[in-house]
Amino acid sequence: MRKRYLAPLVMSALLFAACGGDTKPEQKASDSHENAAVDNSMVSPNAGKPASKGETLMAQNDCKTCHKEEMKVVGPALKDIAGKYPNTPENVDHLADKVIKGGSGNWGEVAMLPHPNVSKEDAKEMVSYILSLSGK
């Protein structure tokens, strides 16, 4: 009769021994996070940094529909714009007018739609942000 209870008892003891038990669950979780490789390939290099006013305004409007930071979509890449125009008050003013009035011809056949609902000051903030991307 004792043998009948001995086998399940031994099996239970082995099961508990195999599960560990010497480390608290919080420690195991933190250990696994410390050793885990993190893939940041899809994260913007500016992630975690506070957004500038111009960047925030662009996110609130439809700018990202046609413009991406590093690649041409419908319109030119933001970095290409920044590379073409030096960051001067005259260029900021000129490009802010183009944001508001729209236009075509500088980057190909596709016209940029006008954005009359954007104020001149907001357009200048957005343009200043774009021209800051040149890295110069």
Alpha-carbon 127 to chain mean position: 19
Angle at 48 between CA 46 and CA 51, to 5 degrees: 65
CA distance 84 to 95: 12
CA distance 22 to 44: 40
Q: Which CATH superfamily is domain 53-134 in?
A: Cytochrome c-like domain (1.10.760.10)
Each residue's pLDDT, cut to its tens digit, for the chain (136 residues) gives 566 777 777 777 666 666 655 555 555 555 555 556 766 666 655 566 667 899 999 999 999 999 999 999 899 999 999 999 999 999 999 999 999 999 888 888 888 999 999 999 999 999 999 999 986 5
**Which region holds residue 113: left if phi is over 0, alpha if psi is between -120 and 50, else beta?**
beta
